[in-house]
Structure 1
Amino acid sequence: MSSEENVRLTAGDVELTVTPDNGCRISSFRIAGTELLRQGERYGCFPMVPWCGRTENGRFRNGGVEHQLPVNDPPHAIHGTGRDTAWRTARTGPAQAVFTYELGEPWPYTGLVTQTFELSEDSLTLQLGIETYGDSFPAQAGWHPWFQRHAFPDGKGARLDFIPDWQEERGSDHLPTGRRIGPMPGPWDDCFGMEDGVDVTLTWPEQLELTVKSRTEWVVVYDEQEEAVCVEPQSGPPNGLNTHPRLVTPIDPLEIATTWSWRRLA
């Protein structure tokens, strides 16, 4: 497979770098020169596709057929295959870009995944789509951004604000038990439900306010590490291939979008 060049998008003093060869992740996101994403080949912001979070023991069923996925977070399979895949650059412009990759092994079904980016001076819209080339199959899609907790040099870490309708109770195996509970205090590695759509705000005091929104009702929040805060809108909960299967069919692709918008406080 030929190597794809990094793609840089700009709008005013906002710069976004997408790395197709490394899972089509956002490797850099800068506002007025300040890097907001944790750096490193495993970080940035990567797409979770064709499943999100952990799939129990790497197994899922499609009708009467059971499939085994690679167990890359023992004992589970985590975050899909898209982040480990080289994507093809389909179209680029100064502030827009489109990328694709073909589903295949170790995922047991064929299809096409498309990711689009649209940048402006005060927002970024991301979209993911999954189409099948034949058989219907359950799938999920979402994003896993690693926002730097201490992006600004004043030492004031990012504050997280959101009002979920429920929290998915997390079992000892790190999977939702299926029981919905009232939101618990953090730190979190947990899935929350927001009936009117994901709406989570990160505030770097006196510097920047950034809001993550999506029409989907599921979001995973991970803030157990000092370096970063993760706000992950996704089309279903962890282990959703088994508990909340959403079939991709020839006439019904899976589509999800999220928008980051920001307001400067300085």
Structure 2
Amino acid sequence: MSNKTITLSAGDTEATVLPGNGGRIGGLRVGGVELLRQGERYGCFPMVPWCGRIREGRFRDGATVHQMPLNSPPHAIHGTARDGAWRTARVADAEAVLTYDLVEPWPYPGRVTHQIALAEDSLTLTMSVETYESSFPAQIGWHPWFNRSLDGSDATLAFDPAWQEERGDDHLPTGKRIDRTPGPWDDCFGMPGGVDVTVTWPGRLELKVTSPEEWVVVYDEQDAAVCVEPQTGPPNGLNTLPRMVTPLEPLEATATWSWRRL
């Protein structure tokens, strides 16, 4: 199937999916109000086959060191799939399934499948990475850009992490775990019971980002948007906490946004 724009709807909620632009969700409108920052780099994009930054773009797999392009010098950031065109595997009124075959510069063959399921009060995202050949380390995550302001109501964030990954001067975790610092953040947090972050636009909407995964990056250093990014490991995790994709065991993850009007 083509990679043309897909529109999903459930009740008065509508989501726009852009297979040709990194498989991202380009928009999410609840009662006609757009929740996601608009623009070709924004919306919500899948982070795969890694999340956040890789130190100097290099990761080791066994004895082999691989070099990724430094698209956020001096590091590589957010995977390769957000720069590619995805294929549409299946579409229904409120659900789309996209696929993306991993290609160079990523050194291993593999396939990513992304299911986007819309309901009147939630959006559920499910992603997997599978291989039929050699095993490799990978990560899965999502990078939504939620509008900071909805009709003049500015977002607040509420979450209770078990720890914060101390961030070094190079923006990467030092390996030390600390108590949560005051924001603004561009930081990774550990939530061993599962990601659970609430974004509230007072008087407008409350949106919860949940995931069985235990890692979340919160980025709210920009005036226009706040980002709550569930992921399967911390930044630089291909080096520090690799999750292996094997022919027998794909890497799978899910995240849900659920909301209620205030």
Q: Please list every run of 5 or more consecutive structure 2 residues that lacks an aligned counterpart in the other structure.
A: none
TM-score by length of 2: 0.99
Q: Kindly provide the CA deviation profile for residues 167-202 of structure 1, in whole angstroms up to 9, marking residues without a partner as x.
A: 000000000000000111100000000010000000
Which residue does 1:169 correspond to in 2?
166
Which residue does 2:217 correspond to in 1?
220
1:21 and 1:87 in contact (8 A); partners too: yes
Equivalent of 1:184 in 176, 181, 189: 181
Q: Distance in 2 between matches of 1:131 and 1:3?
A: 22
Q: Does 1:133 align with 2:124?
A: no
Equivalent of 2:230 in 229, 233, 250: 233
Query: Quick one: which amino acid aligns to residue 100 of structure 2?
Result: Y
Q: Distance in 2 between matches of 1:132 and 1:243?
A: 22
TM-score by length of 1: 0.97
2:184 and 2:220 in contact (8 A); partners too: yes
Matches within 5 A, 1:76-115: 76-115=75-114
Return the offset for 1:203.
Answer: 0.5
Q: Does 1:211 align with 2:208?
A: yes
1:168 and 1:176 in contact (8 A); partners too: yes
2:206 and 2:260 in contact (8 A); partners too: yes
Q: Kindly provide the CA deviation profile for residues 78-110 of structure 1, in whole angstroms up to 9, marking residues without a partner as x.
A: 000010010000000000110001111010000
Return the offset for 1:133.
Answer: 2.4
1:112 and 1:133 in contact (8 A); partners too: no
1:133 and 1:250 in contact (8 A); partners too: yes
Q: Distance in 2 between matches of 1:133 and 1:106?
A: 19
Q: Distance in 2 between matches of 1:230 and 1:151?
A: 15
1:48 and 1:143 in contact (8 A); partners too: yes
Query: Quick one: which amino acid aligns to residue 70 of structure 1?
Result: P
Return the offset for 1:151.
Answer: 2.1
Q: Does 1:248 align with 2:245?
A: yes
Number of residue pairs the alignment of both structures matches = 262
Q: Distance in 1 between matches of 2:171 and 2:53?
A: 8
Q: Please list every run of 5 or more consecutive structure 1 residues that lacks an aligned counterpart in the other structure.
A: none
Query: Quick one: which amino acid aligns to residue 16 of structure 1?
Result: A
Which residue does 1:50 correspond to in 2?
49
What secondary structure, in the 3-state scheme, does the structure 1 residue paired with 2:154 have? Answer: coil
Equivalent of 1:258 in 237, 255, 260: 255
Which residue does 1:29 correspond to in 2?
28
> In angstroms, what is the RMSD of aligned CA positions?
0.8
Q: Distance in 2 between matches of 1:183 and 1:4?
A: 41
What secondary structure, in the 3-state scheme, does the structure 2 residue paired with 1:83 have? Answer: helix
Q: Distance in 1 between matches of 2:243 and 2:145?
A: 26
Q: Distance in 2 between matches of 1:105 and 1:85?
A: 11
Q: Distance in 2 between matches of 1:261 and 1:7?
A: 21
Which residue does 1:40 correspond to in 2?
39
Superposition misfits of 4+ residues, deviation over 3 angstroms: none
Matches within 5 A, 1:113-128: 113-128=112-127
Return the offset for 1:3.
Answer: 5.7
2:150 and 2:204 in contact (8 A); partners too: no
What secondary structure, in the 3-state scheme, does the structure 2 residue paired with 1:21 have? Answer: coil
